[in-house]
Amino acid sequence: MVFNRKKDKFAALLEKIAGNLKESADYFADYKLGNKEDTKIFADKMKEYENMGDSLVHQVITELNNSFITPIEREDIWALSMSMDDVLDGMEHTAGLFEMYAIVKADEFMYQFVDAIRNCAIEIEKSIPLIFTKKLPEIRPLAIKIKDYESTCDEVHREAMTHLFAVETDPIRLIKYKEVYEHMEEIADNCQAVANTLESIVMKNA
């Protein structure tokens, strides 16, 4: 008879956080806005994903407080869960800006941002199981990809801001779009923070 080894509880929780992040990033990237009501649906759904993420992070913290032994350093488990949560918080906040500012049509720069953010989430989801199956060398290339996508967002941000200040004549609209661009770049920065945490875990446990 073959017995399957039970998955470590921290591995299971972190994989759930990464899976929820990937699912939310897909929704964030794919949802099509058309009117004011759409922005509320968008913001409400992202809030649901964010609430789920918060619940999972709370479970991680509870398990850390109740565990004497962890598969990797408890500080790294905490940092990884929080950095992934920061990405999701950023998406939820940005979705709220679309509703608050009644932005009913995404532009080409926003689509480039969300495509890169989605790709970051894909690499993050791939990375988490590798930590707990001792395939640490395979994490490094994924972390590099995440950083490459973040660099892409830096370029998109510069192009978006240059274009915005060159063509926008409505100061209120300029302020709205500027804030959205800045928050989208911040989401990418948070993805890079996840990559940095992953690399730190690899270095400590290699």
Sequence ranges of the domains in the chain: 9-205
Instruction: State yes or no: pLDDT of 3 exceeds 60.
Output: no
> Please, what CATH class does the domain formed by 9-205 belong to?
mainly alpha
Structure tokens at 145: 């990809």
| H helices, E strands: number in the chain | 6, 0
How would you class 49 by CB atoms within 10 Å of its CB: exposed for 0-12, middle for 13-18, buried for 19 or more? buried
Look at residue 6 in the predicted model and tell me its pLDDT.
Answer: 65
Q: Which amino acid is at 113?
A: F
111: number of Cβ within 10 Å: 12
The pLDDT of residue 203 is above 70: yes
Q: Which residues contact 106 (CB under 8 A, 6 or more apart)?
A: 33, 114
* pLDDT above 90 as % of the chain: 89
pLDDT tens-place string over residues 57-114: 999 999 999 988 989 999 999 999 999 999 999 999 999 999 999 999 899 999 999 9
Cα gap 135→165, rounded to integer Å: 47
pTM of the model as a whole: 0.94
Q: What pLDDT band is residue 157 in, cutting at 50, 70 and 90?
A: very high
